[in-house]
Amino acid sequence: MSILVTGGTGFIGSHTVVQLLEKGYDVVIVDNLVNSKKLVLNRIQQISGKMPKFYEVDCCDEEKFRKVFEAEKITDVIHFAGLKSVAESVQKPDLYFSNNVGSSKVLMKLMKEFGVKNLVFSSSATVYGVPDHVPLKETDNVGGCTNPYGQTKLDIEYLLKDFSKENPDMNIAILRYFNPIGAHPSGLIGEDPQGIPNNLMPYITQVAVGKRDHLNVYGNDYKTVDGTGVRDYIHVVDLARGHLCALKKLEQKPGLVVYNLGTGKGTSVLELVSAFEKANFIHIPYVICDRRPGDVDENYADSSLAYEEMGFKTQLTIFDACRDSWNWQSNNPNGYDEGDSNEGVCSKSK
Ligand code: WQD
């Protein structure tokens, strides 16, 4: 009996697979490696002591994806697979809709065909569009997404809600992530963006490791504590644990549930920079620039429903995330591109 994890060699996927293996689940990863490396499998094994089964398959490829369902005894699915660059989605909207929505449609078809009832879906706080208040609750309005990436997540949510109505014996948990940061404390897995990082934390760690000269702070005239953008930064290890809580929740046969996964606290860009400097005794030079199109002033979660209904709340702090992000980046200056060398990795207690 296995948990199928699509996109399981990605940032959040790999951290979730580690915890699934550590909890004794059998894991089958399906990933096309478009935005990740096969080396991640070895790192997962180094951390957990177990090697997950792996199929290099594109979830949009129904014929090949079906063979995985035929070969494996799948009981639950965690669906991470998808393109996730906001900036790229603006340049290539058709690719994002065909890949993200298309792969989800194939997955739903195969789950129904093979009688797989439990699905955890990786959604995003971007489905809330431009919030008119914070913190955000699951019952708040969605829509008005500021980019095609966010729209694909919302479209998939709508597809899942229709799928749930047509198939009332399906159990679906939609998890709306806020801003994932950090890395596994071993320093063996972490965020490995391709090219110039869009997101704040990987850009900070690349400045710290000397790959980037300075951080560009996109705007300091927002209506926030210090004028810079405020977000809800959740440690990826906490976020991964939230998926295991969701799997447990699905055992209660809840039909379809939606949860925000965040800390419930907002942190500004400059507050995160300061926390990183204090956690790692490293100076991060920055330049204040113009606002980035599509950015909002503030965005953070009301995370109480996840606690009330599945007992999930974050345990790790911004300081932990800054320390762990740096441990990953300093031990892997070029991410997973350095081959399987992990000499000098500072293994921290779990
Ligand atoms: C955070 C803050 C920027 C980079 C996106 C997606 C969301 C989720 C997380 C997938 C903002 C500022 C950033 C930089 C900066 N991804 N910033 N300089 O835009 O809140 O959310 O990533 O689910 O769906 O929308 O995250 O890290 O890009 O930006 O000043 O070099 O940092 O303006 O205020 P964002 P981010």
pLDDT in tens, 37-84: 999 999 999 999 999 999 999 999 999 999 999 999 999 999 999 999
pLDDT at 279 over 70: yes
166-204 pLDDT, tens digit per residue, is 999 999 999 999 999 999 999 999 999 999 999 999 999
207-217 pLDDT, tens digit per residue, is 999 999 999 99
Atom of ligand 1 nearest to the CA of 228: 34
Token reading at 260: 């925000």
123-160 pLDDT, tens digit per residue, is 999 999 999 999 999 999 999 998 999 999 999 999 99
- Catalytic residues, which ones? 149
**Mean pLDDT of the chain, nearest integer:** 95
Substitution site in 146, 203, 231 for ligand 1 pocket (most atoms within 8 Å of beta carbon): 231
Whether 188 and 137 have beta carbons less than 8 Å apart is answered as no
Instruction: Print burial letters for 269-290: b (CB count within 10 Å at least 16), e (below 16).
Output: bbbbbbbbeebbebebebeeee
Atom of ligand 1 nearest to the CA of 197: 31
pLDDT at 341 over 90: no
Instruction: Give this prediction's pTM.
Output: 0.95
List all residues whose CB is within 6 A of at least one atom of ligand 1: 84, 86, 124, 126, 177, 179, 198-200, 203, 215-218, 229, 231, 269, 292, 295
Substitution site in 127, 218, 318 for ligand 1 pocket (most atoms within 8 Å of beta carbon): 218
Q: How far is the CA of 297 from the centre of ligand 1 (A)?
A: 11
Q: How far is the CA of 199 from the centre of ligand 1 (A)?
A: 5
pLDDT band at 345 (very low <50, low <70, confident <90, very high): very low
Q: How far is the CA of 151 from the centre of ligand 1 (A)?
A: 16
pLDDT at 347 over 70: no
pLDDT band at 349 (very low <50, low <70, confident <90, very high): very low
pLDDT at 342 over 90: no
pLDDT band at 1 (very low <50, low <70, confident <90, very high): confident
pLDDT band at 294 (very low <50, low <70, confident <90, very high): confident
Cα 247 to Cα 242: distance, rounded to the nearest angstrom: 9
pLDDT at 331 over 60: yes
pLDDT at 293: 86
Q: How far is the CA of 312 from the centre of ligand 1 (A)?
A: 24
Atom of ligand 1 nearest to the CA of 222: 34
Q: How far is the CA of 198 from the centre of ligand 1 (A)?
A: 7
Pairing of strands 230-231, 267-268: antiparallel
pLDDT at 340 over 90: no
Atom of ligand 1 nearest to the CA of 124: 23
pLDDT at 338: 63
